[in-house]
């Protein structure tokens, strides 16, 4: 945080995301990276609603769209490899069928 201007910058992000059994890790990683960037940009927004409850950020011209320079210099994201949900009924059925 720059105490004179009020500007802030995220320096580092560490994400370990459980997607279950990933069908396409490249697509999943893209979704994780995009979602985290959007969440960070969204958390920095101010004055989203006016006093009458009207949305003030209704178009790209009225809010700051995240850009490449908003991504922190150190961005560590991984997919949790052991992310198998044992409670998933479809997964459980496939597991029990494959054991027969």
DSSP states along 75-90: EEEEE-TT---TT-HH
Lowest mean pLDDT among 19-23, 75-79, 95-99: 95-99
pLDDT (0 to 100) of residue 98: 55
Q: Which residues are catalytic?
A: 87
**Phi and psi at residue 45, in whole multiples of 5°?**
-70, 145
Tell which wins on pLDDT, 76 or 98.
Answer: 76
CA distance 93 to 58: 45
How do residues 21-66 score in pLDDT, each as one tens digit?
Answer: 888 999 999 999 888 887 877 776 666 778 888 888 777 777 777 7
């Amino acid at each position: 945080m720059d105490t004179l201007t009020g500007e802030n910058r995220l320096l580092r992000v560490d994400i370990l995301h459980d997607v279950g059994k990933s069908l396409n890790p490249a697509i999943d990683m893209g979704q994780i990276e995009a979602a985290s960037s959007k969440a960070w940009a969204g958390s920095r927004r101010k004055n989203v609603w006016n006093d009458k409850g009207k949305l003030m950020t209704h178009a790209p011209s009225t809010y700051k769209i995240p850009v490449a320079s908003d991504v922190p210099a150190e961005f560590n994201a991984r997919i949790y490899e052991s992310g198998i949900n044992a409670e998933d009924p479809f997964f459980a059925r496939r597991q029990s069928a494959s054991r027969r």
